[in-house]
């Protein structure tokens, strides 16, 4: 199985890079795992609604250019479905068994995802109504993918 996380912007914080690298290393025996970074759109802090849509559209084009046609896309969105760790594990197991062996999670930039990316996704997933920095979300998601793998294998880790 190939699991990819597409995220907007380049990680700069060492603790996030190190954390993701640790979980990616742990995932290596079980599946192919990749993180793809796409450039964020440079913009001032205060934008009009129209400018926000333009930023999301440009970032969305970069995201969509990285998604292969056969991929099952799960967009992270605050209004997405709340999944427990066990539900994520079941979903990945079902996709791998009956759906596709290529799953892409998409994390938008600071303004979120474009409508085009949302339309391309088959599912929307939420980690709750709280707002997390999109860079931190990469680490949290990577850990949850690892947890899901361990749950599906019946191996110790998940408590």
Q: What is the pTM of this model?
A: 0.94
Do 105 and 5 contact (CB within 8 A), yes or no? yes
CA distance 75 to 77: 6
pLDDT in tens, 1-29: 999 999 999 999 999 999 999 999 999 99
- Tokens at residue 33, please? 């795992």
Angle between helices 134-153 and 85-94 (to 10 degrees): 70
Determine the pLDDT at residue 140.
96
What value does the mean pLDDT take over residues 117-140?
93
pLDDT in tens, 58-110: 999 999 999 998 999 999 998 999 999 999 999 999 999 887 899 999 999 98
Determine the pLDDT at residue 46.
87
Do 56 and 112 contact (CB within 8 A), yes or no? yes
């Amino acid at each position: 199985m190939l699991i990819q996380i597409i995220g907007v912007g380049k990680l700069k914080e060492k603790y996030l890079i190190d954390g993701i690298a640790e979980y990616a290393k742990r995932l290596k025996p079980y599946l192919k795992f990749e993180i793809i970074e796409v450039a964020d759109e440079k913009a001032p802090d205060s934008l009009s609604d129209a400018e926000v849509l333009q930023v999301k559209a440009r970032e969305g084009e970069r995201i969509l250019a990285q998604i292969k046609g056969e991929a099952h896309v799960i967009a992270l969105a605050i209004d997405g479905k709340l999944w427990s760790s066990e539900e994520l594990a079941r979903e990945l197991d079902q996709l791998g068994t009956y759906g596709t062996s290529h799953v892409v999670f998409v994390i938008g930039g600071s303004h979120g995802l474009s409508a085009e990316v949302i339309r391309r996704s088959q599912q929307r997933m939420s980690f709750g109504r709280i707002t997390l920095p999109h860079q931190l979300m990469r680490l949290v998601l990577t850990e949850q993918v690892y947890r899901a793998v361990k749950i599906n294998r019946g191996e110790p880790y998940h408590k």
